[in-house]
Structure 1
Amino acid sequence: MSLNDALRDRIRGLIAADAVVLFMKGTRFRPACGFSAGVVEVLDSLVPRWTGVDVLADPEVREGIKEFSAWPTIPQLYVRGEFVGGADIVREMHASGELATLLGAPEVKAPQVQVSPRAAAVFREVTAEAGPGEVIRVRISPRFEHDLAVEGREQGDLEVIAEGVTMVFDRMSAARAEGLRIDFIDRDGEAGFAIDNPNAPPQVKPITAGELQGKLAQGAVRLFDVRTPQEQAIAAIAGARLLDEAVRAEILELDRGTPLAFHCHHGVRSQAAAEFFVSQGFREVYNLRGGIDAWSREVDSGVPRY
Structure 2
Amino acid sequence: MEDSTRKLIDETIKGNDVVLFMKGNPAAPQCGFSSQVVGILDGLIPGYATVDVLADGAIREGIKEYSDWPTIPQLYIKGEFIGGCDIIKDMYADGQLEEALGLETSEVEPPEISMSASAIKAFSEALQSDKELVRLEIDPKFQTGLSIGPAKPKDITVKAGELTLHMDRASASRARGMSIDYVDGAQGPGFKIENPNEPPKVRPMTVKELRARLDETPDLALFDVRPPTERDIASIQEAKALDPDAQKTIMALPKETPIVFHCHHGGRSAQAAEFFVSHGFKMVYNLMGGIDAWSQEVDSNVPRY
Q: Percent identity?
A: 28
Asked if residue 121 in structure 1 is aligned to residue 122 in structure 2, the reply is no
Which region of structure 1 is more displaced relative to structure 2, 141-150 or 282-291? 141-150
Q: 1:109 to 1:101 in 2, by over 3 A?
A: farther
Native 8 Å contact 1:185 1:193 kept in 2: yes
* 1:15-164 superposed matches below 5 A: 22-26=18-22, 30-31=33-34, 49-51=43-45, 53=48, 55-57=50-52, 85-87=78-80, 99=99, 102-115=102-115, 117=116, 120-128=117-125, 130-131=127-128, 133=130, 135-140=133-138, 146-150=144-148, 157-162=155-160, 164=161
Q: 1:138 to 1:213 in 2, by over 3 A?
A: farther
Alignment correspondent of 1:69:
none
Root-mean-square deviation (Å): 5.5
Alignment correspondent of 2:223:
224
Native 8 Å contact 2:135 2:148 kept in 1: yes
What count of residue pairs does the alignment treat as equivalent? Answer: 240
Task: State the distance in 1 between where 2:205 and 2:185 align.
Answer: 19
Could you tell me which runs of 5 or more consecutive residues in structure 2 were left unpaired when the two chains were aligned.
Answer: 1-16, 56-73, 83-93
Q: 1:270 to 1:137 in 2, by over 3 A?
A: closer
Superposed CA offset, 1:116-151 (max 9, x none)? x4xx41431341464565653323457755332345
Alignment correspondent of 1:166:
163
Task: State the distance in 1 between where 2:214 and 2:182 align.
Answer: 34
Q: 1:216 to 1:54 in 2, by over 3 A?
A: farther
Look up the SS of the partner of 2:234 in the other structure: helix
TM-score, normalised with respect to structure 1: 0.52
Native 8 Å contact 1:113 1:180 kept in 2: yes
- Larger RCO, structure (CA 8 Å, separation 6 or more): 2
Q: 1:252 to 1:75 in 2, by over 3 A?
A: farther
Alignment correspondent of 1:267:
266
Task: State the distance in 2 between where 1:265 and 1:286 align.
Answer: 15
Task: State the distance in 1 between where 2:216 and 2:183 align.
Answer: 32
Q: 1:108 to 1:141 in 2, by over 3 A?
A: same
Alignment correspondent of 1:289:
288
* 1:231-270 superposed matches below 5 A: 231-232=234-235, 236=236, 240-243=238-241, 248=246, 251-252=249-250, 254-255=252-253, 257=255, 258-268=257-267, 270=269
Native 8 Å contact 2:205 2:285 kept in 1: no
Could you tell me which runs of 5 or more consecutive residues in structure 1 were left unpaired when the two chains were aligned.
Answer: 1-20, 60-73, 78-84
